[in-house]
A = this chain, B = another copy of it.
Amino acid sequence: MTKALQFWFEYGSTYSYPAAMRVEAESRRFNVAIEWNVFLLGPLFRDQQALSDSPFNAVPVKGRYMWRDLERICDASDLPWRRPSVFPRTSLLASRVTMALPVQFSANFAKSVFAANFAEDRDISDPEVISDLLRAFSVAPDDVFARAQGSEVKSALRAQTERAAELGIFGAPFFIATDGEMFWGNDRMHDALAWQAKLRV
């Protein structure tokens, strides 16, 4: 049984960006291991809330607030920030590539995707952009793309997203401690780490 805190993220999710960029540094302070879990939020929004778009687009007054809030959060953490010209960007390709990669690359690849989307305004649904990001890793991009489009990875991502729904996840980022305690949002990252730290006796 793993003793890691589960960190669930979606590449299109604005608040997943600061969480992904900061979770490792914060987790070291708590001596807590992190299990990175990519999933697709779209199917959950559709099934749970009958939403076919981000709630931040569906409710413009909430969206306007969110962009300003994100800017403040990134300022406070010295994180680079550029509002994406397309929102939300389709995360399917980047998510499949994440699952096709050897697990030791998950965290760094995920951070590079988040930075591309939210700090550099690059199109993470574009295979060329993803190829470019893969250059930082000792992998053959063609092999990774082939595996990412294969039925094994496609099913694995679908299963991962179904597991998220079964666990009671409804947004991103989301943290689940080894005792099942759940924490939603970048605002709860600290509480989630502190909770998990207390479980490691």
Contacts and interface: CB of A to CB of B under 8 A. Distances in A.
A191 interface: yes
14 contacts: A48-B59, A48-B61, A49-B58, A59-B170, A61-B168, A61-B170, A62-B170, A62-B171, A64-B168, A65-B168, A65-B182, A68-B182, A69-B188, A72-B191
Total identical chains? 2
A26 interface: no
Contacts of A120: none
A195 B28 CA distance: 30
Interface residues of A, number: 19
Interface string A159-201: 0000000001011000000000010100110010000000000
A51 B43 CA distance: 21
Given A49-B59, A59-B49, A65 B184 contact: yes
A9 B171 CA distance: 25
Contacts of A64: 168
Contacts of A62: 48, 170-171
A42 B53 CA distance: 23
A168 to B, nearest CB: 6
B168 A69 contact: no
